[in-house]
Amino acid sequence: MSQPEEQHTQHSISYGRYILIWLGLLAFTGITVTLAGIDLGRWVIITSLVIASVKSLLVLNIFMHLKFEDKMFKIFALVAVATLTIFITLTFFDYAFY
């Protein structure tokens, strides 16, 4: 019997690597909660959003295997995030700078 099915290019990730990423995610959660307890003023929003973005990148790249997918997946993801960023930026032109 021949192998009629498409070849898998799927990457297999070890449990150890997943657990490492999970520990990293927990550490970032600890950092963001601790920072929220300190009065950082305006920086609170920026630091918490930066940490949330780093956590999302870890989930996207490793848990969701984006790092190991075709280039096309990454371009799509970038376009999606860029679209949302443009929406938010353009909205603020109406509110922040008038």
Kindly tell me the burial class for residue 70, based on how many C-beta atoms sit within 10 Å of its own C-beta (0-12, 13-18, 19 or more).
exposed
Q: How far is CA 93 from CA 88, 89, 96, in A?
A: 9, 7, 6
49 near other proteins (CB under 8 A): yes
86 near other proteins (CB under 8 A): no
CB 85 to other proteins: min, Å? 9
- Structure tokens that stand for 38 in this block: 């300190």
3-state secondary structure of 33: helix
64 near other proteins (CB under 8 A): yes
Q: Residues 5-44: x/- map of binding to other proteins (CB under 8 A)?
A: xx-xxx-xxxx--xx-xx--xx--x--xx--x-------x
Residue 1 Cα to chain centre, angstroms = 43
Find, among 63, 62, 66, the residue nearest to 80 by Cα.
66
- Largest interatomic CA distance in the chain: 70
96 near other proteins (CB under 8 A): yes
For other proteins, the binding residues (CB under 8 A) are: 1, 4-6, 8-10, 12-15, 18-19, 21-22, 25-26, 29, 32-33, 36, 44-45, 48-49, 51-52, 55-56, 59-60, 62-65, 69-70, 72-73, 76-77, 80-81, 83-84, 87-88, 91-92, 95-96
